[in-house]
Homo-oligomer: A and B are copies of this chain.
Amino acid sequence: MEAYTLGEIASRVHGTVRGDASRPVTGIKPLDQAGPEDLSFVAHPRYRRAAATSRAAGLIAREQDIAPGRNLILVENPYAALAVAMELFHAPEHPSSGISPLAALGEETRLGRDVFIGPFVVTGRRCRVADRAALMPGVVLGDDVHVGEDSLIHPGVVVYSRSRLGARVIVHAGSVIGSDGFGYAEQGGARAKIPQVGNVVVEDDVEIGACVTIGEGSILVAQSGVAGSTRLGRAVVLAGQAGAAGHLTLGDGSIVGAKSAVLQDLAPGSFVVGHPAVDHHEWKRCQAALRRLPELLRAVARLELRLGSSRGAAPEAHRSVAARPAKARRSPGRRRR
């Protein structure tokens, strides 16, 4: 097993060592499982006590979260540092290549080089699995499904016919891509089932959690992500680098702007942007108002001068805008779920 010194790791994660920089470690483990050859981490002051009793050789931590007397790699963001440090020790979980003789590959299915096809995988007709992609045990692809290079499809995932997955896509176990159910059109009380036509398009570098369902006609643009158990209805669009938290419903036809983060359910037909994502009209109004903020500050200062308001006289809640240093001007943050 490869070993790195705390100093080597610190320079990789842009941190500073406090303590023995030459101390070697061979892996990364949680506080309570780490031994004297492991690195561990403290991502929250809650773990201060566990850190004190951990047998770890060193800890990745923020200065304020940890009592002195340990070998530390001090960083601003322990999670980000952890992610980088882990890449040193952990080979990706990608399985080695090979085609199980227990898989059932459909007619005209074409496989790239170095793919992994697990036992009991089923592919439909005319599927394409690109180089180094992995279909873990029990994955089922419908007809005409494409899976891009280096993608990793975990056990039991079902991809309905005609869907396209890009390169480096990860889909976790139990997810269903291509239908979350059904569409019915009502007319005069009668219902007609709408046949499924739209496929699902998942672009490059997308990650999809466990037991996620993605309805037909949806598009996940490159580098977007969906956490576990979330449900995308029909024709949902996640633009580039957008994300959705777990266990949410994104209604039919909802659109999530680039880099936006959805933290609550979306009604059908929503169009949201931002982090957390809000209605795009609201967001635009806020952005427009934001650009007028300097002007607003000047206007309020003028009003205050005209009305003779002064720092000493005004109660705390009415302190003069003009009198406050720019640095203290912070719009109050409100957390949404």
Contacts and interface: CB of A to CB of B under 8 A. Distances in A.
Given A77-B187, A82-B194, A246-B249, 11 more contacts: A77-B186, A83-B183, A86-B195, A104-B120, A155-B158, A158-B173, A158-B174, A174-B175, A174-B211, A213-B229, A231-B246
Interface of A: 28-30, 44, 46, 76-77, 79-84, 86-87, 90, 92-93, 100, 102, 104, 118-120, 122, 136-138, 140, 154-156, 158, 160-161, 170, 172-176, 179-187, 192-198, 207-213, 215, 217, 225-229, 231, 233, 246-247, 249, 253, 265, 267, 269, 337
B172 A225 contact: no
Contacts of A185: 77, 79-83
B186 A80 contact: yes
Tally of this chain's copies: 3
A246 B254 CA distance: 15
Contact of A87 (B29, B180, B195, B217): B195
Nearest to A118: B122
A233 B247 CA distance: 10
B119 A181 contact: no
A246 B180 contact: yes
Contacts of A81: 185
Nearest to A33: B198
A228 B155 contact: no
- Select the residue from A136, A227, A253 with max chain B CB neighbours within 10 A: A227
A156 B182 contact: no
A200 to B, nearest CB: 12
A159 B102 CA distance: 20
Contacts of A186: 77, 80
Contacts of A174: 156, 158, 174-176, 211, 213
20 contacts: A28-B197, A80-B186, A80-B187, A83-B185, A83-B192, A93-B161, A93-B196, A120-B120, A138-B140, A156-B176, A172-B180, A172-B181, A173-B176, A174-B213, A179-B209, A180-B229, A181-B225, A181-B227, A182-B209, A231-B246
A122 B103 CA distance: 12
A253 B179 CA distance: 28
Nearest to A30: B198
B30 A217 contact: yes
A176 B233 contact: no
